[in-house]
Structure 1
Amino acid sequence: MVVHVAKPPYFQQKSSPMQGWHALARQLLCRCSCSFASPHALRQGPGLHRQQRGMGNFRGPFLPPSVRLLAHPDDSVWQPEDLSLTSHDSFAVDSSVDELPTPLGLQRRAHVLWKEGCPSTVLIIKKPKTLAASHILKQMGLWLHKQGLKVLVEKAVHHKEFPQFDIFEPGDEVDLCVSLGGDGTVLHLASLFEQDLPLPPVVSFAMGTLGFLTPFDVEDYQTRLLRVLQANEDRVFCTLRTRKRCEIRLNGNLRMVYHVLNECLIDRGASPSMVKMDCYIDGHFVTNILADGLIIATPSGSTAYSMSAGGPMVAPSVPGTLLTPIAPQSLSFRPLVVPEQSTIEIRLPSDSKAHARASFDGRHPMRLPRDSSIICTTSMCALPMVNLGKLDSDWYEGITQKLKWNVPIREERSQKELLETLKANDRDEHPV
């Protein structure tokens, strides 16, 4: 069978271009049984329902023009020429080919490459009620303004603290985002882009408590930002952090859609009873759940609530989704990692003892009545987080330095240190 697939113009590889097209086409073949997206459906993008797109659960790496995918750690690059899907070339792929290249939708490593005239607009988000963050934001904004950039801030802080800058409104075009705070500030920044559209790169400076998502020190913000602004001269790497698209359905009707960077949480709320849920993956019934709750987490969220509930730590470039139960009735119900492309549906049956509660990255708490469901898929657009180092080095440093992963409870002292201690004690007991 020969299948014709519309070729998006933003997937090209320097060394062998056809490998990129084969990867994209084979991914579509894997996710679709008999129907494919037309160029019109692709142009409409995330505004269409999944059935209307005709792509099953396929979520490709739709990126802003300033982000380039790394095809391999050797720095070869996928070149997205243009984000707009207005021009397409057709090509044919033989579905009998057995070789399956790495799907482009699974790429999570990239670098920043500005197009001409960019960046021109920067959005700065700060941790609320923090004088130090307000002071740095003002300094940083004035410095960026001197570099010729337009600075945007949230409306809530514009009039009282930063009237010299412009107000950010949802839908405004932003080339670069800066976060001043902790991990919660990064989550808040991601929540400002609720629509499934390409997100700008994010540079996060540590001014919070833990700062697992904030690798940069705010003291040298000028040096760090200047390097990002000059990324075309000296390559700056970033990780495409997966977001999950969560549909809330009541009696089968779509009520709300949220995009989460960390996790979707379903728990018992104020009810003393455990939550009864049915879990479906890719339309197939998997198991009944009886627990205090369930966490559906991204790799970024694997080091947050999911880890506290006993889930594994997963590197952000791994294309997977975590299912972590909270205090399950069955001791054999262990955390599970499923493919990123899978559709996860959690249903509350009509015979459930009580209602449940859902929240999304710790926000938008809502009551889930019986006969409601949450459907989690992978968002088409990931969040590009600028790295301090290359590939996942920031993440490994974070789990060792900040989470103290594999740090011995009692570190063994060297023989030399032990001998010096014994000699010092001996001198104290027997002074000359």
Structure 2
Amino acid sequence: MRKVGLFVKKDKKAAKKADEFESWLKNKKIAVVRKVSLPPDLHSPANNKISAPRDLSCLFVLGGDGTFLSAVRWIGDLNIPVLGIKFGKIGFLAETAAKNLFTAAEKIINDDYTIKRRMRLKVDVVRQKKTIISELVLNDIVINRGALARLADVETHIDDHYLTTFRSDGLIVATPTGSTAYSLAAGGPVIHPDVPGIIITPICPFTLTNRPLIVPDSIRITLKLAKGASDIKLTFDGQEGLDIDDRDTIIVRKGSHALNMITLPGQHYFDVLKAKLRWSGGRG
């Protein structure tokens, strides 16, 4: 292991721990590339340019889920293994806590870990037959109406077959990894990351029979707003976004580049799930 990345939440505690960790790595003759996470930019078109060095052996993310999602966007479609270290309030994507950072790093240096591949979604926004945005997302895309906008009417096709027009406050299309994020808060199901599916979850639907739907990850989802739609925003993993209208067609499918997430010995998905959701038997 010659070079690793540190992607750090803009936070005093995280920065202090990153300083200690960077010195520790350099003492082991490991080069470090460090980047500070910036706040989400939801008011400009998304831009999926890769900026992470291609020769990183792995990436340590010090922060919460928002920092993790930002880090994933930074590496783009590069096959760099990623380990989340929890500093934020929400840590579904973090593999371990800050107090275990050095122990976890020793295991990774000694190749005592496994890789779990997490599906990502490829999202294209087509306007007047031209693709204006192409993104990879780990958690979800969200179509959301503004505070003063009417209900959003989202015409939905599955593999070019008309499904329905969701009339709601918005619509979420999520991966299994994203099933424990916004989709869960909107009433969607929890899906194990290894399940090959995509979740479509309406946000506060006008028609109560419009329920969350799980579709195979082999299909293509096409979304289009009704005529005259305004004050509607499309966001990617809650990190970047753009305003959309009835000129736009959103095409969602399984991406060809999965994320390589590092899993440490003794870590189990269901233990994390129970703890975060405070189910009986959770470890807090």
Say whether the fold is shared (TM-score over 0.5): yes
Say which is worse superposed, 215-224 or 337-346, in terms of deviation: 215-224
CA offset digits 1:212-258 (Å, max 9, x no partner): 11131222322211111111xx4x12321111111111122100111
Whether the aligned pair in 2 keeps the contact of 1:355 and 1:370 (CA below 8 Å) is no
Q: Do residues 200 (structure 1) and 80 (structure 2) align? A: yes
2:34 is the alignment partner of 1:145: no
The aligned residue for residue 296 of structure 1 is 173
Cα distance, 1:354 vs. partner? 3.2
Could you tell me which of 115, 118, 121 is aligned with 2:3? Answer: 121
The secondary structure found in structure 2 opposite 1:154 is strand
Matched, 1:394 2:268: yes
Q: Deviations over 1:97-156 (max 9, x none)?
A: xxxxxxxxxxxxxxxxxxxxxx2210001111x111111111111111122211001278
The whole-number CA distance in structure 1 between the counterparts of 2:265 and 2:118 is: 15
Runs of 4+ in 1 over 4 A off after TM superposition: none
Residues 239, 321 of structure 1: alpha-carbon distance in 2 compared, 3 angstrom cutoff: same
Written as runs of structure 1 = structure 2, the 5 A alignment for 1:31-110 is none
Cα RMSD after superposing both structures: 2.1
Q: Does 1:225 align with 2:105?
A: yes
User: Contact 1:144–1:151 (CA<8 Å) still a contact in 2?
Assistant: yes
- The answer to whether the 8 A contact 1:203-1:386 is kept is yes
Give the equivalent residue in structure 2 for 1:45. Answer: none
| Separation (CA, whole Å) in 2 of partners of 1:333 and 1:169 | 40
Name the structure 1 match of 2:185: 308
- For the pair 1:380 / 2:256, whether they are aligned, the reply is yes
- 3-state SS of paired residue (1:185): helix
Distance in structure 1 (CA, Å) of the matches to 2:280 and 2:234: 33
Q: 2:93 and 2:281 mapped to 1: Cα distance?
A: 21
SS at match of 2:156: strand
Letter paired with 2:277 = L
Alignment of 1:252-401 (within 5 A): 252-349=129-226, 351-389=227-265, 394-401=268-275
Distance 1:365 1:264 in 2: 9
Paired residues of 1:205 and 1:214 also in contact (CA < 8 A):
yes
C-alpha separation in 2, matches of 1:304 and 1:357? 18
Match of 1:188 in 2: 70
Deviations 1:255-274 (A, max 9, x none): 01111111100011234301
Partner of 1:175: 57
State the identity as a percent.
29
RCO comparison, higher one (Cα < 8 Å, 6+): 2
Whichever of the two has the greater Rg, that structure is 1
**For the residues of structure 1 that align with 2:90 and 2:213, how far apart are their CA atoms?**
26
Tell me, in whole angstroms, the C-alpha distance in 1 between the residues paired with 2:131 and 2:68.
28
Output the CA distance in 2 between the equivalents of 1:279 and 1:347.
Answer: 7
Distance 2:214 2:258 in 1: 19
Q: Identify the match of residue 278 of structure 2 among 404, 413, 431.
A: 404
Amino acid paired to 1:272: A
Q: Distance in 1 between matches of 2:51 and 2:211?
A: 43
SS in 1 for 2:19: helix
Distance 1:228 1:180, change over 3 A: same
Determine the C-alpha separation between the residues in 2 that align with 1:229 and 1:150. Answer: 13
- Residue 271 of structure 1 contacts residue 354 of structure 1 at CA under 8 Å; is this kept in 2? no
Question: TM-score with structure 1 length normalisation?
Answer: 0.59
Deviation at 1:189, TM superposition (A): 0.4
Give the gaps of 5 or more residues in structure 1: 1-118, 158-167, 409-432
* Residue type at the aligned position of 1:217: A
Distance 1:377 1:343 in 2: 5
Q: 1:156 to 1:201 in 2, by over 3 A?
A: closer
- Structure 1 position 375, deviation (Å): 0.7
Q: Distance in 1 between matches of 2:193 and 2:36?
A: 31
The code of the aligned residue for 1:297 comes to: A
Q: Contact between 1:126 and 1:133, CA under 8 Å: does it hold in 2? A: yes
Gaps of 5+ in 2: 39-49
Checking the alignment, whether the CA contact within 8 Å between 1:182 and 1:208 is kept in structure 2 is yes
How does the TM-score come out when normalised to structure 2?
0.89
Q: For 2:268, what is the secondary structure of its paired residue?
A: helix
- Structure 2: distance between partners of 1:318 and 1:155: 33
Q: Does structure 2 retain, via aligned residues, the 8 Å contact 1:239–1:316? A: no
